[in-house]
């Protein structure tokens, strides 16, 4: 894996500010980083072109939207073929309740983060998931309390982007 280097400390500061509030205008960003708006906006555009900024989105509150249940779903499979993986990826794409999906090392092959309104809704999700692809073992752990949640990547001196 190759890491991109952030051009300089100004880019790092722009990225940090946008992680905290993507609605900042070029003028507001420029004031924070000590530039005028035009060169600041060019930097943002270059960060977008390079792929360091993938998207700018609104973060929604799941509780206020009635999505009170979060499950961490652990999946094991006995089939590691390319065909199975394609079917699994297609199933993931068809299930909007899946917020994150990760292939993992160790005894668990895949971990999913699933958000639904209720346990009944989770049961419906589970039935749809297992009807779409053969799975050897599915285990669900329900989140009791979210103790930390962030979308901000660590851009400090110890991160690979600082190299």
86 and 34 in a single domain? The answer is: no
- Residue 103 maps to which CATH number? 3.30.70.920
Parent domain of 23: 9-58
54 and 108 in a single domain? The answer is: no
- Domain annotation covers residue 161: no
83 and 134 in a single domain? The answer is: yes
Enter the pTM of the model.
Answer: 0.84
pLDDT the model gives residue 133:
96
- Domain annotation covers residue 160: no
Interacting residues of 143 by C-beta distance below 8 A, sequence separation 6+: 69, 70, 71, 72
- Domain annotation covers residue 30: yes
Task: With beta carbons less than 8 A apart as the criterion, state whether 146 and 70 touch.
Answer: yes
- Domain annotation covers residue 112: yes
Q: Tell me the two tokens of residue 18.
A: 């946008």
Residue position matching structure tokens 């600082």: 162
pLDDT the model gives residue 163:
47
What distances in angstroms separate CA 80 from CA 54, 103, 110, 134, one per listed residue?
30, 12, 12, 11
The residues facing 137 across adjacent strands are: 76
Task: With beta carbons less than 8 A apart as the criterion, state whether 89 and 117 touch.
Answer: no
Composition of the chain by helix, strand, coil, percent to 5: 40, 15, 45
Interacting residues of 109 by C-beta distance below 8 A, sequence separation 6+: 75, 76, 77, 80, 103
DSSP calls for 46-65: HHHHTTSS----PPP-TTTT
pLDDT the model gives residue 2:
46
pLDDT in tens, the chain (163 residues): 444 556 789 999 999 999 999 999 999 999 999 999 999 999 999 999 999 999 999 999 999 999 999 999 999 999 999 999 999 999 999 999 999 999 999 999 999 999 999 999 999 999 999 999 999 999 999 999 999 999 999 987 555 555 4
Number of domains in the chain: 2
- Domain annotation covers residue 52: yes
- Residue 26 maps to which CATH number? 1.10.10.10
């Amino acid at each position: 894996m190759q890491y991109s280097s952030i051009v300089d400390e100004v880019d790092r500061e722009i990225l940090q500010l946008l992680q905290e509030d993507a609605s900042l205008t070029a003028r507001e960003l420029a004031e924070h980083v000590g530039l005028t708006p035009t060169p600041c906006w060019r930097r943002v555009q270059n960060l977008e072109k390079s792929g360091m900024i993938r998207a700018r989105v609104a973060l929604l509150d799941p509780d206020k939207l009635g999505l009170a249940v979060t499950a961490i779903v652990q999946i094991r499979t006995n089939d590691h073929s390319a065909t199975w993986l394609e079917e699994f990826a297609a199933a993931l794409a068809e299930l909007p309740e899946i917020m994150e999906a990760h292939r993992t090392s160790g005894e668990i092959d895949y971990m999913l983060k699933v958000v639904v309104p209720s346990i009944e809704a989770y049961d419906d999700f589970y039935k749809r998931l297992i009807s779409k692809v053969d799975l050897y073992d599915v285990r669900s752990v329900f989140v009791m309390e979210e103790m930390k949640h962030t979308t901000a990547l660590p851009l400090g001196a110890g991160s690979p982007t600082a190299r």
